[in-house]
Amino acid sequence: MALLFQLWAFLRRDSIAAGTARLAPAWQAAGVGFTAATLYYLGRLVPAPDPASGRPAGYFAFALVGVAFFGFLTAVMRACPAALRQEQVAGTLESLAATPCAVGTLALGLSLWPVLLGLGQAALSLWVGEVFFGLPIARANLAAALVVLGLSGATFLAVGWLAAAYVLLTRQPDPLTAPIAAASALVGGLFYPTTVLPAPLQRLGEWLPMTHALRAMRLVLLEGTGAAGLRGEVLVLAAFAAALVPLGLLALHWSFAEARRSGTLSAY
C-alpha cells in the first residue's frame, strides 16, 4: 500500500507540472492525427501484399502499429534517465533521494507520467487509425496484447535504468537510448519487415528486443494471434526482461550509492 501511495504522489506531482503547459495535449493529439494520415496516404502508394509476406493487413496497418508501439517503448526507455537528469539540473534529486523511497520506487515514480503519456499516445494512434482510416484491429487479442505490453515495457524500462545509472554517475545527459532507438528503427522492423534487410542486418535485428516486440504486437493486433502463436516471441521477450530488469535495478542501486558517497547527486 505504501508503494502505491508513493507512486501516486509522483504521478500527481508530474501531472500538475505537465498541466501548466495547457497547449501540449492538443499539439500531441494533432501530431498523432498527422502521423496516422501521413502513413495512410503513404500506404496507398504501396501495393497490397499477399498474406505470405507477413503483412496481410496492408502497409498502413503494418506501419501504424509499428510507429505507435515503437513510440511507446522509446518513451518507456527514455523516461527514467530524462527525469533523473531533469532533477539533477533542477537541484532537487538530493531531496528526492532523501525521502523514504526505495531506489526502485523512485525510478518507477519518476518514469510513471511519461510512460502513461506514451501509452496514451499509442492508444490514441490506434483509435484514430481505426475510426478514421479503417485500421483492422477489431479481432485483436487483448489478453495477449497485455502480455506483450508488459514484457516489452519491463524490458525497455530496464534499458532506461541502465542509462539512468550512467546519468547518475557522470552527471551528463543520457547517451544510450538514442542509438538504441535508432538501431531499433533501422533493423527492428519499424517501417518495413525485417525480411527485406540483408542477412547480417536480419541477424542483428534478432538481438534487439524491439524486433520481437513489434513482431508480437502486430500479430496480436492485426491477426488476433493468441498465446500459442506467440510462444516464440513471448519467450524471447521474457528472456530479455529476466536478464535486464535485475541488471538495471542493480546498476541503479550501485550508481545511487556511488553518487551519495561522492556527494554528486546534483548536477553541479
- The pLDDT tens digits of the residues spanning 191-248 come to 999 999 999 999 999 999 999 999 999 999 998 888 778 889 999 999 999 999 999 9
Report whether pLDDT(27) > 70: yes
Which of 231, 258, 260 has its CA nearest to residue 95? 260
Alpha carbons 247 and 155: distance in angstroms, whole number: 11
Alpha carbons 110 and 81: distance in angstroms, whole number: 9
Measured in degrees and rounded to the nearest 5, phi and psi for residue 156 equal -75, -25
Q: Are 150 and 115 in contact (CB under 8 A)?
A: no
Q: What is the pLDDT of residue 57?
A: 61
Q: What is the pLDDT of residue 246?
A: 95
142 CB neighbour count, 10 Å cutoff: 12
Q: What is the pLDDT of residue 7?
A: 80
- Say how many CA atoms lie within 13 Å of 251 toward its Cβ: 21
Q: What is the pLDDT of residue 266?
A: 62
Q: What is the pLDDT of residue 267?
A: 53
Q: What is the pLDDT of residue 240?
A: 97
Q: What is the pLDDT of residue 268?
A: 53
C-alpha cell at 62: 503494418
Report whether pLDDT(73) > 90: yes
| Range scoring the smallest mean pLDDT among 19-33, 122-136, 150-164 | 19-33
pLDDT interval class at 54 (50, 70, 90): very low
pLDDT interval class at 48 (50, 70, 90): low
Largest CA distance in the chain: 61
Q: What is the pLDDT of residue 55?
A: 46
| Range scoring the smallest mean pLDDT among 81-95, 105-119, 160-174, 202-216 | 81-95
Q: Which residues, in sequence order, are CB contacts of 205 under 8 Å at separation 6+?
A: 187, 188, 189, 194, 197, 211
Alpha carbons 240 and 77: distance in angstroms, whole number: 14
Global pTM value: 0.90
